[in-house]
Amino acid sequence: MTQFTFDAPTVIRTKRDGGALSDAAIDWVIDAYTNGRVADEQMSALLMAIFLRGMTNAEIARWTAAMVSSGERLDFTDLRRDGRPLALVDKHSTGGVGDKITIPLVPVVMACGGSVPQAAGRGLGHTGGTLDKLESIPGFTAEISKAQIRQQLCDLGAAIFAAGELAPADRKIYALRDITATTESLPLIASSVMSKKIAEGTAALVLDTKVGSGAFLKTERQARELARTMVELGAAHGLATSALLTDMSTPLGRAVGNAVEVSESLEVLAGGGPPDVVELTLALAAEMLAEAGLDGVDPAQTLADGSAMDRFRALVAAQGGDLAQSSPVAVHAETITASRGGTMENIDAMAVGLAVWRLGAGRSVPGERVQSGAGLHIHRRRGEAVAAGEAVFTLYTETPQRFEAAIAELDGAWRVGDSTPSAQPLIIDRIRE
Ligand code: URA
């Protein structure tokens, strides 16, 4: 029998013209791109065609499965602690601004008895990445061996690692999307998130699906559809998956950037920190513990009694990090002040994310080094009183020529006025199969 072969221009043309890709075409293009037989230019064109034309559910399912098959799939079901299988559970966010939740959340779940195998990502577009944040801790490495991941899961209860050989197709496509304006696509987000999470070997997964200006998909309708699609993809691969829909119209917490977000996470682990960061950490922890069958433990207690902080210290030390050495904010700072007094009526998450990206916290070319110290502090948050002349934001960068563009992003993105903004729920809904 002759084997039907594909070529990239035909696959691109099919999607460009609104057609559906066959299973065989998807398998071929993912494999050929992973192994260098489809060029970046060709995959970029295909991603833009998918961005513009979308995909059917059947295409998304096959694209995700092909990405999982592009690399290895980890399996921790043989691991035991005190003679019992590990309660394996993970969380993934669809990307937000000031979204440092993984950093306090993982140690909270560890302290409650869960084991978190977390394949984490780098910044994407205007959103920050857990790896870029954690790598601002001197010595911390996410490039750890499989043996070390297994050891940490057993001994400590977590490992946070670069996806490496898991879903290598996603690693290449993720980097390409970041620089080709093709991030904000439901099929591409769903397949990217779920391919990594299916391959990483967790038994249960909680998704934090963002809604609002700082999310990749802005409307509640789009975010619901994304959450549903991901929950179904998880179920199809035997991964118990649930999702929270959470507000991302304004940044989470007061710190946005890399080192500044680690500092804010340490405040949360010390029992303080901004109330919204604490609320979301505890809501996601409760969901993860329920998914892992660990109900009956109180995640808030682990912040109050320091046990989550102890777990974080142990996790960072196991991965080479030194929390005793501070990772300072960048030396150059600029402050933005309010020209009038009143109430902070709004701070737009997208604009803040773009400002921080322009300060050097994210990438504009593949593999670019991000600045650990680049970031922003929000002194007055939505709903807080502001006095005329008072500092509203402080911006940090190692390269002061970046200030002008960052400040321009914030122009018109925040408003001090006389009305009190209506309270917006942080947790909008919960979605299960
Ligand atoms: N997180 C991912 O891993 N992929 C995306 O596309 C968005 C968020």
**For 68-112, how does the pLDDT look when each residue is reduced to its tens digit (9 = 90+)?**
999 999 999 999 999 999 999 999 999 999 999 999 999 999 999
Place of tokens 């096959």: 62
pLDDT band at 1 (very low <50, low <70, confident <90, very high): very low
Mean pLDDT of all residues in 56-67: 98
Q: In whole numbers, what is the pLDDT of the chain averaged over residues?
A: 95
Q: Whose CA is nearest to atom 2 of ligand 1?
A: 193
Where in the chain are the domains?
8-54, 80-325, 332-417
Atom in ligand 1 nearest the alpha carbon of residue 92: 1
Place of tokens 């496509």: 173
Residue 141's pLDDT is what? 97
CATH of domain 8-54: 1.20.970.10
Q: Whose CA is nearest to atom 3 of ligand 1?
A: 193
Mean pLDDT of all residues in 260-284: 98
Which of 51, 124, 132, 211, when mutated, tests ligand 1's pocket best, judged by the most ligand atoms within 8 Å of its CB? 124
Query: Dihedrals φ, ψ of 6, to 5°?
Result: -110, 165
- Does position 125 have pLDDT exceeding 70, yes or no? yes
Integer CA distances (angstroms), 242 to 67, 89, 175, 259, 314, in order: 21, 11, 27, 30, 28
Which of 396, 384, 409 is closest to 359 using CA atoms?
396
- Measure 216 CA to ligand 1 centroid, in angstroms: 9
- Does position 48 have pLDDT exceeding 70, yes or no? yes
For 159, the 3-state DSSP assignment is: strand
Which of 63, 193, 195, 246, when mutated, tests ligand 1's pocket best, judged by the most ligand atoms within 8 Å of its CB? 193
CATH of domain 332-417: 3.90.1170.30
Q: Give me the long-range contacts of 265-268 (CB less than 8 A, separation at least 24).
A: 265/100, 265/103, 265/104, 266/309, 266/312, 266/323, 268/104, 268/303
| CATH class label, 80-325 | alpha beta
Which of 107, 105, 202, 191 is closest to 149 using CA atoms?
202
- Measure 325 CA to ligand 1 centroid, in angstroms: 31
Kindly list the protein residues whose Cβ atom lies closer than 6 A to any atom of ligand 1: 94-95, 121, 124, 189, 192-193, 196
Residue type, 198: I
- 17 belongs to the catalytic site: no
Residues 92, 100, 122, 133: which is the catalytic one?
A: 92
Atom in ligand 1 nearest the alpha carbon of residue 127: 8
- Does position 2 have pLDDT exceeding 80, yes or no? no
Hey, what are 52's tokens? Answer: 């513009």
Mean pLDDT of all residues in 274-287: 98
Q: Which of 158-167, 262-271, 322-331 has the lowest mean pLDDT?
A: 322-331
Residue 37's pLDDT is what? 96
pLDDT tens-digit map of 179-210? 899 999 999 999 999 999 999 999 999 999 99
Atom in ligand 1 nearest the alpha carbon of residue 189: 6
Q: Whose CA is nearest to atom 6 of ligand 1?
A: 189
Q: Model-level pTM?
A: 0.95
Residue 163's pLDDT is what? 85
Residue 330's pLDDT is what? 84
Residue 3's pLDDT is what? 56
- Measure 47 CA to ligand 1 centroid, in angstroms: 14
- Measure 121 CA to ligand 1 centroid, in angstroms: 8
Mean pLDDT of all residues in 141-156: 96
- Measure 358 CA to ligand 1 centroid, in angstroms: 20
Place of tokens 């390409």: 176
pLDDT tens-digit map of 360-393? 998 877 778 899 999 999 999 999 999 999 999 9
- Measure 384 CA to ligand 1 centroid, in angstroms: 32
DSSP 401: G
18 dihedral zone (left: phi>0; alpha: psi -120 to 50; beta): left
- 177 belongs to the catalytic site: yes
